[in-house]
A and B are shown apart, each in its own frame.
Chain A
Amino acid sequence: MAPDKATDKKTVGITSANERVLGALVAEGLFGSEIEAAKFAMARAIDNGVERGTVEGAETKWNVGSLDPDGALKAVVQALYPEETMPYRLVEHLMNEGLRSFDTGDSLPPDVAGVLYSIGRPTS
């Protein structure tokens, strides 16, 4: 059955291709959990100016209650994307896009330090 795209998601998933990147990101970025690493990837996508969208083929990973227990994530996404009506679907999209951007195609670990050092500097 095709997913219901008229309502927001109750779970957030990661594509199988991005799962590997997520694992590498946790290891490289010293994140305490995969959720923290996924949020970091989402932030990178936002910083890179990724447009709204949805993701296909994501396998359920987290319940939104676990992902965003205080709703802060949803509030921030809605603040940054005011026109978005399904924030968790967008969160899922941004997380997957962010993870994909860390995958440079070589076997190098994700450049977490590079992201941190570029904060506040104009992107080329």
Chain B
Amino acid sequence: MLRIKSMHMKDFGAFKGEQSFELPAEEGVSIFYGENMRGKTTLLNAFRFALIGKIIGRGRREVSFHDMINWEARGEGARTFEVRLELTHAGADYRLTRTCRPRPGTDDPERHDDYVTDYYLERGGHILSPQQAALELERILPEQIARFFLFDGELLQEYEDLLHSDTDIGRKISQAIERILGLPTLTKSRDSLKAALDRAESRVALAAQGDQKTREFGNQLQSLVEEREVLTKDLFRQEKDLEELRGRKAAIEDDMRRRERMAALLDKRDRLAGEVKVLEDAVTAKKEEVSRAMGHAWSAVIRDRLATAVESHRATEAELQSAVTRAQVLKELADGDSQACPTCLQTVSAEAQEKIRAEIPGGGDRSASDDQRELATVRRRLDALGEQLARTNPESLRLLWSDLEARRRDIYAKNGEIEEIGKQLSGNEEDELKGLRREYESVVRQIAALEDGVTDTGVKLAANATYRDKIQKRLDQLAGGQMDSERKIRDMASRLHDLFKESVDVYREQLRHRVEADASRYFRKLTTEPEYAGLRINDSYGLTIVHRDGSDIPVRSAGAEHVVALSLVAALQNNAQLRGPIVIDSPFGRLDGGHRAKIVETLPDMADQVIVLVYEEELPPARAREALKGRLRGEWALERQTARHTRLVQK
């Protein structure tokens, strides 16, 4: 059991100057109270920095070391920060000191990369060499295990990945869980026995080659053993490459998730750019349509005047037509071409004819021809007016223009959005994300190819094993007593390998059941819902809430996620080969009073040493004291000195 005895900080975040605290040696809970922005998360990061050298901010992004030097101290010339932990593990005392300082040759550090970190580890008062220190740290608290003991709200997101075992991040976390639970000890033994079996088979083949009776089969077995070695090496290399690629894929997925917002912006920008292109093409086509229609737009503008002119010309036409007709009739009567009046059909007398002739000016010819010419002119104009009027369609023109304008406005709005998105993106980020996406696609392709390769090699190895098995049987029939000892060794190695192979699966299953049982036990303690009976674990350690009627609860609230995650953390602690403290930042954020009370009561059972970072409204000190009683081992307050200076005070 790893236990933290004390912490000492120098200019770390809000903790200006040198500040330290000692945690009680007894099992129980230590609470640090601090309002928002006083440095609770910074304190969690101080543990993280000391243990694994990382500082994690929102969105699980690593925080720049430059920003972690206390601002006031930096203003006063400080360029370094440091965290020291005193620990005990398996009866030994350790002191782990990790320091961040400017990279050699950097006079004026400004960015994360301008800093380097180093650490040294003392055991029993003796400083270990860097190699020893690295090995010792990996032994007492490896990074993959430490992640499950430094717990904040964002661990929930990682936990969520466990529910989707098809993701590489989920697989990676499952592996980390199995590491914490000690499975690698067994898998390494299984692999060692496989190597021993391979060697034993090789020795059997060599022995068989030395005998005339079995030489031929010995030769065949030897070549199959050699082939197996090549195939095994291939498989090992492929699996190693695959593991690395899956790790890289998980890291890219993680990185891409952190850049989700930017990725969404880039996708939106590309979508908008595509839409703008479509709109621009539509506008070009629409402009041609408008251009054709605008040829007659002038007629539309004066449509009312054209219509009025048509009316007046029609009246004139009627008048002129009447005058021309009258003149024609009178002339016919005057000339005597017609004997009867066309109106009353009475015969026109000679006297009347004379009278008509007298009344027609100029004998009637000139006036009639003028009217006829004028009538022709009016009709020509009427034709022209009619033709222009027929071409006018202002409504159609307006629709065309409206449509064109609407598309232009759409383009303008979309370009505005693209511009706004552009302001939120920096060129570097965009290039990085594009690079990440390209790399991701490439990695996915490589993984698929390698998986095919692994399957292919596996098939070849299986065929090789079948042949070897047949030859071994023939050899067993043919061989004399000189091969007995080699065969016995091989048979023993084979049985041991089978035993360990099977035991890995059995142990994995047992572990999952133990984790499930413990997580369920914690869950029942923590939940306020009496109908929830426990949790069901899946192959990748994802947990589902189970109703007392046996059915799964498919959808979980944020609060339920929180309780399930706490249950998992507690169960892992309980089953871990390597056990350590739990440091929890704001464990009650999403939970109601009932859940909070239950969590406080359960905290001491979750680990031997529990360190809780809360604000007083979340967990009032009086309530904590009452709920925890003697198991509350220490209380500290994060007291504001200035906006950039917090002091740790024991209560």
* Contact present for A79 and B384 (CB under 8 Å): yes
A72 interface residue (CB < 8 Å to B) = yes
* Contact present for A116 and B394 (CB under 8 Å): yes
A72 in contact with B384 given A116-B397, A117-B398 (CB within 8 Å): yes
B98 interface residue (CB < 8 Å to A) = no
> Which of A30, A43, A78, A80 has its CB near the most chain B CB atoms (within 10 A)?
A30
CB within 8 Å of B: which of A65-124? 71-72, 75-76, 78-80, 113, 115-117, 119-120
B434 interface residue (CB < 8 Å to A) = no
* Contact present for B294 and A120 (CB under 8 Å): no
> Which of B297, B382, B398, B405 has its CB near the most chain A CB atoms (within 10 A)?
B297
Identify A116's interface contact among B287, B381, B398, CB under 8 A.
B398
A40 shortest CB reach to chain B, Å: 5
Q: Can you list 21 contacts pairing A with B, beta carbon distance less than 8 Å?
A: A29-B294, A29-B297, A31-B294, A31-B297, A32-B295, A36-B294, A36-B295, A43-B300, A44-B301, A46-B305, A72-B384, A75-B384, A76-B385, A79-B384, A79-B385, A80-B309, A113-B401, A116-B397, A116-B398, A120-B304, A120-B394
Q: How far is the CA of A75 from the CA of B309 in the complex (A)?
A: 11
Main secondary structure of the interface of A (DSSP, over half): helix
Apart from A79-B306, A116-B394, 17 more pairs, CB < 8 Å:
A31-B295, A32-B291, A40-B294, A40-B297, A44-B301, A46-B302, A75-B384, A75-B385, A76-B384, A80-B302, A116-B297, A116-B401, A119-B300, A119-B301, A119-B303, A119-B394, A119-B397
Q: How far is the CA of A45 from the CA of B380 in the complex (A)?
A: 24
- Give every chain B residue within 8 A of A32 (Cβ-Cβ): 291-292, 294-295
Q: How far is the CA of A113 from the CA of B403 in the complex (A)?
A: 12
B209 interface residue (CB < 8 Å to A) = no
A9 interface residue (CB < 8 Å to B) = no
B154 shortest CB reach to chain A, Å: 55
A79 in contact with B381 given A31-B291, A47-B305, A113-B405 (CB within 8 Å): yes
Main secondary structure of the interface of B (DSSP, over half): helix
B138 interface residue (CB < 8 Å to A) = no
Interface size on B, residues (CB 8 A): 31
- Give every chain A residue within 8 A of B387 (Cβ-Cβ): 72
Identify B298's interface contact among A43, A71, A75, A120, CB under 8 A.
A43
Q: How far is the CA of A71 from the CA of B298 in the complex (A)?
A: 15
Q: How far is the CA of A119 from the CA of B393 in the complex (A)?
A: 10
Q: How far is the CA of A121 from the CA of B398 in the complex (A)?
A: 13
* Contact present for B291 and A30 (CB under 8 Å): yes
* Contact present for A47 and B384 (CB under 8 Å): no
A78 shortest CB reach to chain B, Å: 6
B54 interface residue (CB < 8 Å to A) = no
- Give every chain B residue within 8 A of A30 (Cβ-Cβ): 287, 290-291, 294
- Give every chain B residue within 8 A of A44 (Cβ-Cβ): 301
CB within 8 Å of A: which of B524-563? none
Q: Which residue of A has the minimal Cβ distance to B401?
A: A113
Q: How far is the CA of A75 from the CA of B388 in the complex (A)?
A: 10
B411 shortest CB reach to chain A, Å: 16
CB-based closest 10 A-B pairs: A75-B384, A43-B301, A43-B298, A39-B298, A79-B381, A119-B394, A40-B298, A30-B291, A79-B309, A30-B290
A21 interface residue (CB < 8 Å to B) = no
B313 interface residue (CB < 8 Å to A) = yes
- Give every chain A residue within 8 A of B385 (Cβ-Cβ): 75-76, 79
A47 shortest CB reach to chain B, Å: 5
* Contact present for A76 and B306 (CB under 8 Å): yes
Q: Which residue of A has the minimal Cβ distance to B377?
A: A78
Q: How far is the CA of A78 from the CA of B287 in the complex (A)?
A: 33
* Contact present for B303 and A76 (CB under 8 Å): no
* Contact present for B300 and A116 (CB under 8 Å): yes
- Give every chain A residue within 8 A of B303 (Cβ-Cβ): 119-120
B299 interface residue (CB < 8 Å to A) = yes
Q: Which residue of B has the minimal Cβ distance to A74?
A: B384
Q: How far is the CA of A79 from the CA of B306 in the complex (A)?
A: 8
* Contact present for B381 and A47 (CB under 8 Å): no
CB within 8 Å of B: which of A40-71? 40, 42-44, 46-47, 71
Q: Which residue of A has the minimal Cβ distance to B384?
A: A75
> Which of B292, B294, B301 has its CB near the most chain A CB atoms (within 10 A)?
B301
> Which of A72, A113, A119 has its CB near the most chain B CB atoms (within 10 A)?
A119
- Give every chain A residue within 8 A of B295 (Cβ-Cβ): 31-32, 36
- Give every chain B residue within 8 A of A47 (Cβ-Cβ): 301-302, 305
B246 shortest CB reach to chain A, Å: 59
Identify B388's interface contact among A72, A115, A116, CB under 8 A.
A72
> Which of B298, B309, B384 has its CB near the most chain A CB atoms (within 10 A)?
B298
* Contact present for A36 and B298 (CB under 8 Å): yes
CB within 8 Å of A: which of B272-298? 287, 290-292, 294-295, 297-298
Q: How far is the CA of A113 from the CA of B300 in the complex (A)?
A: 13
Q: How far is the CA of A79 from the CA of B303 in the complex (A)?
A: 13
* Contact present for A79 and B300 (CB under 8 Å): no
B362 shortest CB reach to chain A, Å: 25
Q: Which residue of B has the minimal Cβ distance to A75?
A: B384
As a 0/1 sequence over residues 13 to 42 of chain A, the CB contacts with chain B under 8 angstroms (1 = contact) are 000000000000000011110001001101
